[in-house]
Amino acid sequence: MKERVAVIDFETTGITPGREGRATEIGIVLLEGGVIVDRFQSLMNAGVPVPPMIVQLTGISSAMVRSAPPAASVMREAAQFVGRAPLVAHNASFDRKFWDYELAQCGLSSAQDFACTLLLARRLLPLAPDHKLGTLTRWAGLPATGRAHRALADAEMAANLLRHLGETLQQRCARPVSHALLCRLQKVTAAKVPQFLQQL
């Protein structure tokens, strides 16, 4: 995939954006031609405490968040860093909710397409034991990127997985793999993937 894409991951205080869930950290990896060309990572302070379960999961504490830059300024920087690049995330429906919500908090919006490595892995790697990001990374023999459940390490894992999925797709269809093609593929039901690939 020659084009530039931005692979994104949020750490948050909960599952649903709003009063209960706010972003605590964002990690973004810019990928060009399958190669990581730039990285962005920042903790962010949205003015909410981090629940103990989340501290245990991510290692991100309320004290760390309190001393971080305001969420709005981090999101403005993140939006500038991403620019017009299409986005990718693992279980993108989750990260998209927080991307849209946190951007809206500082008066910004985003219209980029989101490709989802979870949906793509279910279609292209059906034999994996499960489709968690960590499992897929180990199963495919992709490099370790650091502490799981930290935003930049998870974004790098998802970027490596995206590259692997691109290579897998390339082997199965004789045409260049683009973000637009991945977005089309993830909308095809799993059972119809062979037919979809054959018609390319």
Residues that bind DNA (CB under 7 A): 9-12, 14-16, 24, 54, 57-58, 90-91, 93-94, 118-119, 122-123, 130-134, 149, 154, 186, 189-191
Residue type, 54: I
CB of 13 to DNA, least distance (A): 7
Residue type, 122: R
Question: Scanning the structure block, which residue is given the tokens 């691109």?
Answer: 166
CB atoms within 10 A of CB 140: 16
Give CA separation, 16 vs 128, 138, 175, in Å: 28, 28, 38
Taking the least distance from each CB to DNA, the nearer of 138 and 175 is 138
| Cβ closest to DNA, residue 8 vs residue 82 | 8
As measured in angstroms, the least distance from the Cβ of 14 to DNA is 5
Cα 103 to Cα 99: distance, rounded to the nearest angstrom = 6
Rounded to 5 degrees, φ, ψ at 23 are -70, 140
CB of 55 to DNA, least distance (A): 10
Instruction: State the minimum distance, in angstroms, from the CB of residue 91 to DNA.
Output: 3
Query: DSSP secondary-structure letter at 191?
Result: G
- Pick 37 or 190: Cβ nearer DNA: 190
Taking the least distance from each CB to DNA, the nearer of 33 and 190 is 190
Single-letter residue type at 199: Q
